[in-house]
C-alpha cells in the first residue's frame, strides 16, 4: 500500500512536471530574442482591452524605465481616484493599434540593445522600428513614455 502511494505521488509529481515544462519553456522563449519579445508584446497588446490579466502580461514585457513610469502614473491616479490602480492599468489599449499586419520581423543587436524592424504584408507599408533592451537576461520592449513632471505644491499650502 505504501509503495502504491509513493508511486502515485511520484506519478503525480512527474505529470505535474510534464504539464509545467511546456509553459516554462514557452515563457522563456517569448523573450529569448528581440524579434520574439516584440511579436509577443504585439500579441499581448491586442488582447488588453478591458482584461487586467492581459494588461499585466503586456506590462511584464516592458523595460524597467517604462514600468517605473507607469508605476508613478498609477500612484498619482490612485491618489486622485481614491482606489488602488495597478501600473498595468495605465496602459491605454485604445491607443495601441497595428498600422498593418506584421509579416516579417528582423533584428539588429549590439550587445544588450537591439532594433527590431517590422515589415508588413505589402511593400506599400513602411517598416517600423522597435527598440529592445536585454535586462536580467531577458529581452524587453523599450516603450519611451514622457517623463512625469514633479508634483507642484502651492507655497501657501493650499490655504
Query: Is the model's pLDDT at 12 over the cut of 60?
Result: no
pTM of the model: 0.73
Backbone dihedral region for residue 158 (phi beyond 0: left; psi -120 to 50: alpha; all else: beta): left
Return the residue matching grid coordinates 510534464.
18
Q: How much is the CA Rg of the chain, to the nearest whole Å? A: 21
CB count within 10 Å of CB 66 equals 19
Query: Taking the CA of residue 107 as centre, how many other CA atoms within 13 Å lie in the half-sphere pointing to its CB?
Result: 20
Give CATH for domain 31-141.
3.10.450
Interhelix angle 2-30/34-46, nearest 10 degrees: 100
Confidence of residue 15 (pLDDT cuts 50, 70, 90): very low
For the chain, the domains span 31-141
- Mean pLDDT of the residues in the chain: 79
Across residues 114-133, what is the average pLDDT? 90
User: pLDDT, tens digit, for every residue of 39-77?
Assistant: 999 999 888 887 889 899 999 999 999 999 999 999 999
Amino acid at each position: 500500500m505504501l509503495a502504491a502511494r509513493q508511486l502515485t505521488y511520484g506519478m503525480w509529481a512527474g505529470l505535474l512536471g510534464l504539464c509545467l515544462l511546456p509553459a516554462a519553456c514557452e515563457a522563456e522563449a517569448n523573450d529569448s530574442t528581440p524579434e520574439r519579445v516584440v511579436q509577443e508584446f504585439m500579441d499581448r497588446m491586442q488582447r488588453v482591452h478591458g482584461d487586467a490579466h492581459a494588461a499585466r502580461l503586456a506590462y511584464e514585457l516592458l523595460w524597467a524605465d517604462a514600468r517605473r513610469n507607469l508605476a508613478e502614473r498609477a500612484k498619482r491616479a490612485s491618489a486622485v481616484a481614491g482606489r488602488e490602480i495597478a501600473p498595468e492599468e495605465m496602459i491605454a489599449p485604445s491607443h495601441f493599434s497595428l498600422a498593418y499586419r506584421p509579416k516579417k520581423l528582423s533584428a539588429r543587436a549590439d550587445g544588450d540593445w537591439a532594433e527590431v524592424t517590422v515589415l508588413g504584408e505589402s511593400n506599400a507599408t513602411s517598416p517600423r522600428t522597435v527598440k529592445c533592451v536585454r535586462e536580467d537576461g531577458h529581452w524587453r520592449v523599450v516603450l519611451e513614455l514622457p517623463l512625469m513632471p514633479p508634483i507642484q505644491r502651492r507655497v501657501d499650502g493650499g490655504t
